[in-house]
Amino acid sequence: MGNSKKKKENIILHIDMDYFFAQIEERENPQFKGKPVVVGADPKEGKGRGVVSTCNYEARKFGIKSGMPISRAYKLCPQAIFLPVNMQLYKRVSRAVFQIAQKFSSKMERVSLDEAYIDLTGRVGSYKEARREGEDLRKIVFEKERLTCSIGVSKNKMMAKIACELAKPDGIRIITPVQAAKTIASMKVETIPGIGPKTRQFIEKKLKKKDPQIRDALVFSKSELADFFGKRGEEFYYKLRGIDKSPVEEKKEAKSVGKEHTFQKDTRDAKMIIKVFKRLVGDVHSQVKDKKINGLTVVCRYEDFETHTKQISFDAGKYTEEFLYKKSISLLLKFLTQSNKKIRLIGFRVKIA
């Protein structure tokens, strides 16, 4: 883990724990090894109305993936081991892993319980040295926590994450600056952060081509993309070329408190939905009434599992339950009026200042 006096080169490492929740369960229960493991909800409880949180690679062979309805996962692989989410354990392991990772850089940006960006700039002088750092980090994490992880290294956060995806599972991948544009050219446009299904459909329409690759979208000028997508369009212009200007930032752990409710049956019964929502707001307020908050979010999942959020921000302060309800109910009603779909789940959370 030595330092280098060579000219500084922007080098970013991305670490992502392999199938994190399920891998921890395998570690805690060695008898699960080699069997399909699904972490999420009990498929028999509430007639399987939860979703898959994480699953191991054995389960993925059956077509199971994160976010899938637990009932669907059960149909695909009824012999799988279905486990509840043990968030307290996962958070404890996450802290231990990132205490190790923190030693590899003075600047680390945690983006979730199982992944982070580490700025190696100045610490290493070449990608060869960066590979050694990555291999050392993987080795120490495995020795200390008996868990595998994947690592990607490149010139910026986006390319490091892409490299990490290519390294999975249990591997390391380096993408040097000269390799960046060529590496992503044949990937789908949705590989670029911020380009989802709707944006892809718009690009398809403009290109008159189904499932366009990144190289196809390079025909758009910066001004065209800005006209299409506003400020995001300019960001897309650079990211399509492997350029990401976002810095690695040490962020305080996002603090929010929230609750969700999954209905036993998908529903359009506004009276019942509002009654449940009011209770959620009350439950959350009871936990935060002594804290300053500066924003709230309302979550809605429709019958087809399409999930949307609406949020608002306001000056930090202590607010009454009535204030939070008045601010949030209008957002919930938009979900009811903007779509005729039945609602499967609603949620409410506040952001702690």
Rounded to the nearest 5 percent, the helix, strand and coil shares of the chain are 45, 25, 35
| Distances, alpha carbon 138 to alpha carbons 23, 37, 170, 249, 272, in Å | 15, 23, 9, 22, 50
Q: How many other C-beta atoms are found inside a 10 Å radius of the C-beta of residue 323?
A: 14
Question: Which is nearest to 254 in space by CA: 350, 124, 166?
Answer: 350
Which residue blocks in 48-196 are alpha helix, DSSP H?
57-60, 70-76, 87-102, 127-145, 157-167, 177-185
What is the DSSP code (8-state) at residue 32?
G
CB neighbour list of residue 53: distance below 8 Å, 6 or more residues apart: 21, 39, 40, 66, 85
Distance CA 310, CA 230 (A): 20
Query: φ, ψ for residue 327 (rounded to 5)?
Result: -70, -35
Considering only CA atoms, give the Rg of the chain: 22
224 is catalytic: no
Catalytic residue among 26, 58, 115, 145: 115
What is the DSSP code (8-state) at residue 47?
G
Query: φ, ψ for residue 193 (rounded to 5)?
Result: -55, 130
As given in the structure block, the two tokens for residue 263 are 């209905």
Catalytic residues: 115
